[in-house]
Structure 1
Amino acid sequence: MYGTPPPDLDDAATKQARIEIIPLIDVIFFLLATFVLFTLSLDRTQIIPLNLPKVETPPDRIIIEPAEPVYLQVSDRGNYYWDQELISFPEVKLRLAQYATEHDPKIMLTSDDRANYGDAIRLLDAVRAAGIDQVSMETRFRRTGQ
């Protein structure tokens, strides 16, 4: 008709249909951008100013400051230190029992790099037997008695 020959039927049968992915990606990005913009427009936060009453501490109530942790250390020779003071293990148990009665007792366990594992566990058991729940293990290096 217009100077172009009609297509061969054999050529049309050998061509395979293919799916173009680029337009599909464009549509997905368009939907994603639309969803993001739509959800951002829904977030309208309004603030209502409130005048809340201020709480005053009654004069009979005493505010207790949090206690500093007690440092317990085990040396490589099996010596025990209570805040850098050399003491025996029975004295450690006695001090732990007294310290457990204070408000919010905290213990920091530390040891030498060559300390016996059994001595450290023995100290940890004594702390737990005294009823102290807040126990931390220090992981940095300390010299003996420091």
Structure 2
Amino acid sequence: MMRYLQRRKARIEIVPMIDIMFFLLVFFIMVTLNMIPATGIGSRLPSSSSAERLESSQIVIGLDAAGMIGVDQQILTLEQLGALLRERGTETSVIIAGAEAAALSDLVAVMDACRLAGITRIGIATREPGA
């Protein structure tokens, strides 16, 4: 009878807590990986059979068929784009994601703005043929 009346020392089960922490860690890693790709103007990229995969860029510039320039879901003018690129510095790499129907003159204007800001690493986003 005395055995049941004794106070037992409380134990903290650590294994379920570790399981929960690993689950949360995996959950946040997966959410972060889905947030990393830059979002831009929804457009159909031109295809290229000789395209190479580049390292992830720091800035993705979207160029739609109407000539609108977008960076991080903000519409910019060429002057604003140049100012943004100058703020980021000359070591910044840029990828231009132009729509398939975008005018060549708009693409050249964006590339000129990049070059005037001192950016030397400029890539053009494409898709694989048939994709």
Length-normalised TM-score, structure 1 = 0.45
Residue number in structure 2 paired with 1:27: none
RMSD value over aligned CA atoms?
2.2
**Aligned to 1:135, what secondary structure does the other structure show?**
strand
In structure 2, C-alpha distance between the alignment counterparts of 1:111 and 1:86, rounded to whole Å: 14
Q: Does 1:126 align with 2:109?
A: no
Tell me: higher relative CO, structure 1 or 2? Use CA pairs within 8 A at least 6 residues apart.
2
Count matched residues.
74
In structure 2, C-alpha distance between the alignment counterparts of 1:67 and 1:140, rounded to whole Å: 15
Runs of 4 or more above 6 Å deviation: none
**Aligned to 1:119, what secondary structure does the other structure show?**
helix
- Note the C-alpha offset of 1:84: 3.0
Q: Which runs of 5+ in 1 are unaligned?
A: 1-65, 142-146
Does the CA-based 8 Å contact 1:67-1:105 persist in structure 2? no
**Aligned to 1:136, what secondary structure does the other structure show?**
strand
* 85, 99, 105: which one aligns with 2:74: 85
Q: Does 1:140 align with 2:127?
A: yes
Larger Rg: 1
Length-normalised TM-score, structure 2 = 0.50
Does the CA-based 8 Å contact 2:63-2:97 persist in structure 1? yes
Change in CA separation of 1:75 and 1:134 when aligned onto 2, cut-off 3 Å: same
**1:75-128 alpha-carbon deviations (Å, 9 max, x no partner):** 111100113322222211111111125xx3110011111111100010001111
**Amino-acid identity (%):** 20
Q: Which amino acid aligns with 2:106?
A: D
